[in-house]
Amino acid sequence: KGSSLWCLAVDPQCTRPGVGEVLVRHLIEHFMSRGLSYLDLSVLHDNDQAKALYAKLNFRNLPTFAIKRKNGINESLFLGPGPQADFNPYARIIVEEAHRRGIDVQVDDADAGLFTLSYGGRRVRCRESLSDLTSAVSMTLCQDKSLTHRALKAAGLRLPAQQRAGSADDNLAFLEEHGQIVVKPLDGEQGQGVAVDLRTIEDVQSAIEQARRFDTRVILESFHEGLDLRIVVIGFQVVAAAIRRPAEVIGDGRHTIKQLIEAQSRRRAAATDGESRIPMDQETERTVREAGFEYADTLPMDQRLAVRRAANLHTGGCLEDVTAILHPVLSDAAVRAARALDIPVVGLDLMVPAADQPEYVFIEANERVGLANHEPQPTAERFVDLLFPHSLPVHI
């Protein structure tokens, strides 16, 4: 008499370690209490993380060969081998979708996320989600945040006040006018060099020096409270929307804040193939200190502590899908922004009180938006639809 475990899934955004192990141990104890003598399960041959978990729990590896019917989970196993290249998650999600449709994939430079897709006589070169379909002018409008600001303002969209960082007196005047400001490189990505909610001229000047490590040109913007909303627009249609939450840790009453940050950073890196980590930099230290703590302090049991102010996936943040509740005003504003920039694929960042409310302030646009981590929304599918509209039947 035995039992079977059919599926085990742990949210990759989970902040607590060992959840999968606890769930399996609970199942084992549950079925043992019902008089069953064993628990069996099957694992895909290349799922090393799962195999390590079950080995730790003393499962025996049985030398069996199983053939299963094709379904949505194992569909990729029925295809021939795809490109043998170590792409990052943002390139891989596109390459795998293209391969699934029979689109030829030529690996140009896996480390840079460069590949060429060919289908029916049509060839498109991509760097992750940035493709030949995006013009150099549109890319420039997104990369230069002052040009982004100008283009979106001309389209009648709501934006923060903005000016170029200048002398200490100019910076102080801007700070006094707005009370709380943001400092960021003029041309930057992945949250690098961004400092938010700055309230003293000392913090502003220090943040400017940090931002200049990524671009000598630095801008100041008025700070707006709210949630960080990312909207993905493909083919001038909203495909996905997610609230981006900044990195945080949860106290256990034993470990220091620094240890908690390092552990959470390792978990985020493991869940995102190394794309998401919490940097132990000046901004993290400032955020911890403003909350009244030091790295060496022990965080009380179950107390949550935000350790970054900017909600960026690459600096340890996580995503919460809100596509289903996105307010029509926000959806319309995102499409208007994409048209103002004349860009077919773009990620638009807004500050909002809530995803289902109409108020917003545009923050910036990303011409190479990450399509991974937006599950269950079909971001990669819609991207490949845009590039090769005849590669898939009409969606029903």
Q: Which of 197, 201, 296, 312 is nearest to 246 (CA)?
A: 312
pLDDT in tens, 86-97: 898 899 999 999
Q: Residue 147 — pLDDT band, cuts 50, 70, 90?
A: very high
Instruction: From residue 233, give the alpha-carbon distance in Å to each of 91, 181, 331, 348, 394.
Output: 17, 28, 9, 8, 19
Q: Residue 267 — pLDDT band, cuts 50, 70, 90?
A: confident
pTM score: 0.75
How far does CA 65 lie from the centroid of its chain?
37
Q: What pLDDT is attached to residue 80?
A: 66
pLDDT: is 122 or 191 the higher one?
A: 122
∠ CA 74-80-85, nearest 5°, is 95
